[in-house]
Chain A
Amino acid sequence: MTDSDHPTMPLTSVTAMAAVADALRRIAPELDLDAVDRSAPLRDELDLDSMDVLSMITALSDHIGSPIAERDAAEMTSVDALVDYLVRRTA
């Protein structure tokens, strides 16, 4: 995975949310994302473990075409934080 493989497209909060939702659906197909509190801690709200979080970061890195650093990933503790990061990162 390199930047040249996947040129980064700017994401809006709507398209970023769609990418997050897509990644989450693959990890936890039974989740009802509409019922999720987007500001709540991911691990608690969605019952994700560290393997799930790593899978999600991998999927989102793939989506934006550049790797999300682990220290950045550590700060993305809620759905809102993920969406904000993706928008900022691809702007």
Chain B
Amino acid sequence: MGEFRMPSLGADMDRGTLLEWRVAPGDVVRRGDIVALVDTDKSEVEVEVFEDGTVAELLVEPGTEVPVGTPLARLDPTGPPSAAPPPAAPSHAPPAAAPAPAPAPETTATGPHAARTASPLVRHLAEVEGVDLAGLEPRDPSGLLHRDDIERAAATHRAPLASPPAEVEPPSGGRGPSASPYARRLAAEAGVDLAELRGTGPAGAVVARDVMPTAPPTAAVSDAPSARGGDKQASTRLAIARVMARSKREIPHFYLSSTIDLAAASRWLELENDRRPPEHRLLPASLLLRATALAAQQHPGINAWWIDDEVQLAGDVDLGVAISLRSGGVVTPSITDAAHRSLDDLMTSLRDLVQRARAGNVRSSELQGSITVTNLGDQGVDAVFGVINPPQVAIVGFGSIAERPVAHDGMLTVHPVLTCTLSADHRAVDGHLGSRFLRTLANLLQEPDALAADPDPGAGP
């Protein structure tokens, strides 16, 4: 008997509101199927199921807000036994299915390896909370560690001796309330006084979920529609603020930039688009995304997460794309396995992602990229130096493509050029690797025909 739980859909997500069910009891679901629509502070997310099975019972009514980890539905593990494999390649693991260095089967892990069976976000939380994953017993029968496993562990092993010895500086006049470090941090970020909170952790300790409901102004319980309009914008802003502030606080960024000659790429694109109807035309962004994905694949150290004080290579390139929302704010859903997608596939994926992100419909498997691209070319800026989206270790920025004088074959001439930047986490990446990555990217953009060639079949999506 499996349970489908409220997933953690972002580094700072603690609770989510179930907006609607996309399945009913008796429905057979496959891993990767969209089963529910969930509202987070930032956006509405189509949530996919992690395992095959039959929906036995829906446990939560639409419109209800619940903490991450709360069982939402019961699943009977009676997936069609020898039917076709799940549509997504195994490498398209959903967020909670450990993108560990080695592509090991992630649902049956027991023993010491079970400790690694947690998503990077969960592992990051464990790091923040000072929880050793190896000592944890996941509640989820599949062996996956969820956010609530970490919080429970953090609360139990801190609460008894919490305030006086363990805490660094009690807020005022001696004893602060008992609280997990993560809850303290959340409270500090949100400007909430811990003393005013009622702890629901063991021994009354204040845990993250006690802080969160008061932090975003919108977290209206059981009233999903109210979290719209201005409130929604405010909570989107707050979610961005948290992640960005954490990034700049924790990540020692360094920045590289490179000016790339796009004469060949622009000419290729012009000829190509001339013979395509509008619905099949390519934007320069498709070439930039493809070159970035291939360069990230060639330099795996860039395509990685920083978790538990170490680099974890992501493997597949899940290419996050910064998409500005017309109402303000930005989201960074990713194009999964981008290195194995053709130019046309990337263009279609980008168009689809932009439309869905602006309509507020991103999928849970798209929320955790391995590297992000921010493209401000349309806004006319020369260059953008992005803020890294943790736990990723790099963000690539593209400025606008503009005609500039360049020296070419010993002559001064005018070519379209583009400034490409890399912001990287110096804990995980050095300048040498960053430079090589940018050089590879620039070289790839000199060969548009090669970029346009179909990616190597076999591993494609």
Q: Is the interface of A mostly helix, strand, loop or mixed?
A: helix
* Residue contact A70 to B273, C-beta cutoff 8 Å: yes
B281 contacts partner chain A, Cβ-Cβ < 8 Å: yes
Give which listed residue, B270, B326, B377, contacts A47 with CB less than 8 A: B326
Residues from chain A with Cβ under 8 Å of B281 in the complex: 54, 70
* Residue contact A58 to B278, C-beta cutoff 8 Å: yes
* Residue contact A49 to B378, C-beta cutoff 8 Å: yes
Chain B nearest CB: distance from A40 CB in Å?
15
Residues from chain B with Cβ under 8 Å of A57 in the complex: 278
* Residue contact B278 to A51, C-beta cutoff 8 Å: no
Residues from chain B with Cβ under 8 Å of A71 in the complex: 274
Q: Interface size for chain A: under 10, 10 to 19, 20 to 34, or 35 or more residues?
A: 20 to 34
A89 contacts partner chain B, Cβ-Cβ < 8 Å: no
Knowing A28-B326, A30-B326, A30-B327 touch, does A50 contact B278 (C-beta < 8 A)? no
Residues from chain B with Cβ under 8 Å of A61 in the complex: 277-279
Residues from chain B with Cβ under 8 Å of A58 in the complex: 278-279
Chain B nearest CB: distance from A23 CB in Å?
12
Give which listed residue, B277, B278, B378, contacts A43 with CB less than 8 A: B378
* Residue contact B277 to A1, C-beta cutoff 8 Å: yes
* Residue contact A70 to B274, C-beta cutoff 8 Å: yes
B351 contacts partner chain A, Cβ-Cβ < 8 Å: yes
Chain B nearest CB: distance from A75 CB in Å?
15
Most buried by B among A28, A43, A54, A68: A54
Closest to B284 in A: A50
Residues from chain A with Cβ under 8 Å of B270 in the complex: 70
* Residue contact A51 to B327, C-beta cutoff 8 Å: no
Knowing A30-B326, A30-B327 touch, does A51 contact B351 (C-beta < 8 A)? yes
15 further contact pairs, Cβ within 8 A, besides A50-B284, A67-B278 = A1-B277, A1-B279, A43-B378, A47-B326, A50-B283, A51-B283, A51-B351, A54-B283, A55-B351, A61-B277, A61-B279, A70-B273, A70-B278, A71-B274, A73-B278
Q: Provide a sorted-by-A list of 24 A–B residue pairs whose CB atoms are within 8 angstroms.
A: A30-B326, A30-B327, A43-B378, A47-B326, A49-B324, A50-B283, A50-B284, A50-B285, A50-B377, A50-B378, A51-B285, A51-B350, A51-B351, A51-B354, A54-B278, A54-B281, A58-B279, A61-B278, A61-B279, A62-B279, A67-B278, A68-B278, A70-B281, A73-B278
- The 4 A-B pairs of least Cβ separation, nearest first, read A58-B278, A49-B378, A67-B277, A61-B278
